[in-house]
Amino acid sequence: MTLSEKNGKNRNISLSVIVPMYNAESWIRRCIESILDQTFHELEIIVINDGSIDNSLNIVKDCCRMDDRVQCISTENQGSAAAKNVGLKHISGNIVTFVDADDFIEAEMYETMITTMNDTDADIVECACRKINRYGRILNNIELVDEEIEGNEKCILHFIRQKNAQNYMCNKIYRSKLFEGTCFPPLYFSEDYYMNVILHSRISKKIVISQTFYNYMLHPGQSTDKGNMNIKKIDGIKAGNMVADFFSYNKKLKNYAGLYACNYALDMADIMVGLDNRMVKKIIKKMKPELFRALSHISFDMLQNKNEKRVIYQCLLMLIANSNFYAFRWLLK
């Protein structure tokens, strides 16, 4: 029995949309309305209130009164991964997707993607997205090209190589049965990367469409601001190592996962330049064992280009320099 059959509250529901929410009072109404305004109507919206302390919950309750396709489940604050796991326990549709509470989607998104899924018998359909600021200004178009990937190994490689694919859950729709027996890991960063790897390892066909349907909002400082550095970002390196462990039987896939972890470490290092010395040392101390693990997954004979080799050499230099903060800082300039 599938997840959707267990929870079959409404047989007219084809799509379950899970929305993890934490303190999103400025954005959650726009998010929910963009889902309700879809040209595809046979859906449910499951908002997981992850311990919000602002007015988010009252706004969602108002949306629930306005449209019975919206439901809200409140939990203690445990993070996005735990909230998504709660949502998965309550889905009714045989297709599932996710939307972040501060994002919004275009009206034709689900009709187009579900039609594509049904017409091609695909397990996952992915669309392009754009990054916007809080005022709606487009910061970056993440373009994808139309592509059909068939065969289990090709589907795994397509995602893990990060070619014409994004880490997000929100720009994809999935057959609900893919989530049977798995859950998001207890990570604060890159939980989507890990889950997407697991799900792609279970499929035989994926479709990528070039239409841009998902609007992903970046807040000031979200990616690069020094003040936004959080030691929990090390979870991104952990996620790469977890995937490498999952593919311990496959040298090629393990190598790609190790590269993901190493690239994530370098991204963290870029943000750390300019931070307080004590903070940097604290982060490096926590990062070091995970970076060692990531490098242990790398097979140098499988590095395909100069850029991949550069990533590994830079990570090795980070480990050499970690005991000397000034050398570390110089390497990153």
- Return the CATH fold of 3-217: Spore Coat Polysaccharide Biosynthesis Protein SpsA; Chain A (3.90.550)
> How high is the pLDDT of residue 223?
45
For residues 139-154, give the mean pLDDT: 96
| Those residues with Cβ within 8 angstroms of residue 78's Cβ, 6 or more apart along the chain or in another chain | 50, 51
Rounded Cα–Cα distance for residues 150 and 131 (Å): 29
Q: Identify residue 135 by its one-letter amino acid code.
A: Y
With b meaning 16 or more CB within 10 Å and e meaning fewer, what string describes 152-171? Answer: eeebbbbbbeeebbbbbbbb
- Both tokens of 94, joined, read 């045989």
> How high is the pLDDT of residue 276?
76
Reported as a single tens digit per residue, the pLDDT across 100-112 is 999 999 999 999 9
For residue 46, the Cα-to-chain-centroid distance in whole angstroms is: 18
Q: Write down how long the chain is.
A: 333
Strand partners of residue 46: 18, 71
- Whose tokens are 């449910």? That residue is 44
> How high is the pLDDT of residue 212?
98
DSSP-based three-state secondary structure for 202: coil
Predicted confidence band at 268 (pLDDT cuts at 50, 70, 90)?
Answer: confident
pTM over the 0.75 mark? yes
**Mean pLDDT score of the chain:** 90
For residue 325, the Cα-to-chain-centroid distance in whole angstroms is: 32
Reported as a single tens digit per residue, the pLDDT across 54-75 is 999 999 999 999 999 999 999 9
Predicted confidence band at 331 (pLDDT cuts at 50, 70, 90)?
Answer: low
Rounded Cα–Cα distance for residues 242 and 231 (Å): 18
Domain-wise residue ranges, the chain:
3-217, 226-332
Rounded Cα–Cα distance for residues 243 and 315 (Å): 19
Predicted confidence band at 222 (pLDDT cuts at 50, 70, 90)?
Answer: low
* DSSP symbol at 151: S
- Both tokens of 274, joined, read 């300019």
Given a contact cutoff of 8 angstroms between Cβ atoms, the answer to whether 218 and 131 are in contact is yes
Reported as a single tens digit per residue, the pLDDT across 164-186 is 999 999 999 999 999 999 999 99
